[in-house]
Chains A and B, each alone.
Chain A
Amino acid sequence: KAGVTQTPRYLIKTRGQQVTLSCSPISGHRSVSWYQQTPGQGLQFLFEYFSETQRNKGNFPGRFSGRQFSNSRSEMNVSTLELGDSALYLCASSPLEDYGYTFGSGTRLTVV
């Protein structure tokens, strides 16, 4: 059974650009969550989608957005990139709400 797949693994962008990250959940999982991981702030919740609906959103500016497709695949977008957006972005999926989250290996975003 394939795990959570995130693409790309590494990304380098320039300040002011925008970026789209992709996440394919485990087959059958309908809940997809996104987290930002930095050395200073640790793992911070961005948002969660279930059946194409955003159910919860963390304390991030509106530059961070996401969506989920009918096949449960999810994308997150960051517009007008800032240096502080450099981080490991992790996606996690779950068959049901609230527990059993399986994480992908993440996308390492570097903003220069």
Chain B
Amino acid sequence: GESVGLHLPTLSVQEGDNSIINCAYSNSASDYFIWYKQESGKGPQFIIDIRSNMDKRQGQRVTVLLNKTVKHLSLQIAATQPGDSAVYFCAEGVTGANSKLTFGKGITLSVRP
């Protein structure tokens, strides 16, 4: 069935280094993708999204890359800071009346000072 998965359950990085979080998706009909960050006790916070007609999108310190050929999505965080420590989710959706996001399991990013 449809699924969105993450390759690694945890990621530990040194403060100041760049982080790369990967995600695989299986629904070839998905045409938009979102990365969310969830801190303890809070709901998921929107980070960045990308449509399937793009392969790269940049935000503030974050870049999302989309490779539709291999159904792969990644989130790059530049100069990782302690405040980036959280659980990160990728989500996929299909434009139309579907109006449903399918989330990956989540990966914990831990930033070492």
A6 to chain B, nearest CB (A): 8
Q: Are B44 and A56 touching (Cβ within 8 A)? A: no
**Does B113 interact with chain A (Cβ within 8 Å)?**
no
Q: Main SS of the interface on chain A?
A: strand
- Select the stretch in A12-20, A67-75, A78-86, A103-111 that faces chain B: A103-111
**CA A77 to CA B36, docked complex, whole Å:** 26
**Does A63 interact with chain B (Cβ within 8 Å)?**
no
A residues near B105, Cβ cutoff 8 Å: 42
A74 to chain B, nearest CB (A): 13
Please report the total number of B residues contacting A with Cβ < 8 Å. 26
Q: Are B102 and A98 touching (Cβ within 8 A)? A: no
Partner of B98, one of A35, A98, A104, A105: A98
Name the CB-closest residue of B to A88: B43
**Does A64 interact with chain B (Cβ within 8 Å)?**
no
Q: Are B41 and A105 touching (Cβ within 8 A)? A: yes
**Does B61 interact with chain A (Cβ within 8 Å)?**
no
**Does B99 interact with chain A (Cβ within 8 Å)?**
yes
A54 to chain B, nearest CB (A): 10
**Does A76 interact with chain B (Cβ within 8 Å)?**
no
B33 to chain A, nearest CB (A): 10
Partner of A100, one of B46, B102, B106: B46
Q: Are B99 and A98 touching (Cβ within 8 A)? A: yes
Partner of A98, one of B32, B42, B43, B104: B32
Partner of B100, one of A4, A45, A106: A45
Partner of B32, one of A31, A55, A99: A99
Known: A98-B93, A98-B95, A101-B34. A33 touches B43 (CB 8 A): no
**Does B89 interact with chain A (Cβ within 8 Å)?**
yes
Listed by A's residue number, 6 A-B pairs whose Cβ atoms lie within 8 Å are: A4-B43, A42-B103, A50-B99, A97-B96, A101-B101, A103-B46
Known A-B contacts: A33-B99, A104-B43, A105-B43. Give 11 more (CB < 8 A).
A4-B43, A42-B106, A55-B97, A56-B97, A56-B99, A90-B44, A92-B44, A97-B97, A98-B95, A99-B95, A106-B42
